[in-house]
Amino acid sequence: MCGIYGQISTSKIDRNDFKKNLSKLNHRGPDDSGIFIDANIAFGHTRLSILDLSTSGHQPMIDLNEKYVIIFNGEIYNFNEIKNNLQKKGYIFNSNSDTEVILYGFIEYGEKIVEKIKGMFAFTIYNKETQKIFLARDHMGIKPLYYFKDNDNFIFSSELKCLKNYSNGINSDSKILFLSLGSVPEPLTIYEQIFSFPKGHYGYFSKNELKITKYYQDEYEPKMSESYSDIVQNTKELLHKSVERHLISDAPIGTFLSGGLDSSAITAIAAQYKSDLHTLSLDFHEKGLSEKYYQELIVKKYNTNHTNYIIDEKIFLENIHQFIASLDQPTVDGLNTYFVSKAAIDSGLKAVLSGVGGDEIFYGYASFKMAKKINALNILPLPLIDLITKNKKLSKLDYLRVGGDISKYLPVRTVFTPIEIAKILDISVEDVYRVLRNNLNQFNELNIKNFDDKISFFELNLYMKNQLLKDSDIFGMANSLEIRVPLLDKDLVDYVLKINPKHKYRKKINKSLLADATKDLVPSEIINRKKRGFELPFKYWLQSNIHDFEIDQSVKNDFIDGKIHYSKVWSLFIINNFS
């Protein structure tokens, strides 16, 4: 895992200025850094050494013929397979790094290399002869890539910290979307003129023009015709293959262990392939929030080298400023990722496996059931919906006014109602709806038949991509930690998305397909427990210290009186840091 930064300019690039900007990514790569400058083109890289810890993996990397230059952030888990094929074609390698495999893979296969590599990645390659820049981002958007473009510059980076000074300021639409969704949906960022390069796409930049092409999309059809027992067996095999290759590392690696099914399954499978497995958990003193019992079921069963990291109010307050400093975009979540990443580094790890993606592909969130109930309200006329939403508990049903299938999902995943957002930003509620429709209408144009599959697509491409994956990257990297997501392995995702949803809702067990595929490894107490999201004792810590947070006094009073949820208080605190 690393940081990449590049600039193509109409004028000569100043090396010192470029180096200074690159240093903003030092936390992403504390082991090494490098710069390549060719007059008006500059590539920079900061390295966190995971594969091939020697200097042979230094970047920017140049091919033997000195025609191509690459900078790469991520990990490729099938690089040895591709390397062997390239060696048979006569390519000579000077390192054991996956970076060199991508470089020569691009020389041999061109843009088709993105369809061959399996992993998480954002990389750019410069062709000195043609002066073209090639950019690509992985199939799920696990690794970030942002860019700014005007008449004089094309600049890209792993984080907005290197780009925000080129912006004219905060994007007002992004503020509306954040207060609604708890994150800023791609391709927008919180800053004007800066965009996120889309997942599952590659592009070429030449003569001040960026042409982007899609190479991957989430496919839910055609559905599997196999028996359920075959589906379970195939899912099991894909899970094992994914976890095994995600353990490839020349640096210390472990797993996050929350006590839920996803992280327990990953840890249990990882223990089959790695002895003395390191595991990490967060724990709290507050009653009812500790997951220690379930975490220890796995720890004891597989005799893992476990670190139980206790977070209390004092630690929370001591880390708030560093947490905020780590942000490059507002997010309503992420504190848990920040703290468990910090614990991983304190334990001597450089990479960890996370359970992100399990609820999205195995249909574990409550949103799948709740959106179905909301969908049933679609027959109601708007005047009746107006009457229903006067009940404060049902006020988020106002999102039905956005229209289409996305409007049945929004009440489940939003923070503030459109009316509340309008009041906070002192704008009309019509402006709020306009922004929501303009940016979310694309989700009403899907060629997906099944309603459950649509909710899965929303979870993957709204919630997970824009919040969970961004949080994993930004807060993992803030602590110089690589977070890997084996449940988002391309082969696994491609297979599981095409399984009929009825096979994911068998019995009364949450994520029954995942449970059946791992029941020989995961204790029944974990499989049979009720679905519960991982949460910090946020409410209590905020209540005790609310007067120390810079937000409107009326909001503080409502929170103290129990009139509003803590997520609204936290959202306002976060967005105030981007004013």
Q: Which residues are catalytic?
A: 2
Token pair 């008449």: residue: 151
Neighbours of 425 (CB within 10 A): 16
Cis amide leading into 60 (omega within 30): yes
Angle, CA of 212, 102 and 52, to the nearest 5°: 140
Question: What would the two tokens of residue 368 be?
Answer: 């799948």
514-548 per-residue burial string, b: 16 or more CB within 10 A, e: under 16: bbbbbbebbbeebbebeeeebebbbbebbeeebee
235 SS3 class: helix
Neighbours of 308 (CB within 10 A): 16
Q: Is the dihedral of CA 256, 260, 263, 269 positive or negative?
A: positive
CA dist 304 to 156, 318, 491, Å?
40, 30, 28
> Would residue 5 be called left, alpha or beta, if left means φ above 0 and alpha means ψ between -120 and 50 degrees?
beta
Phi, psi (rounded to 5 degrees) for 219: -115, 125
Q: Are 22 and 162 in contact (CB under 8 A)?
A: yes
Token pair 């890997």: residue: 484
- Length of the chain as a residue count: 579
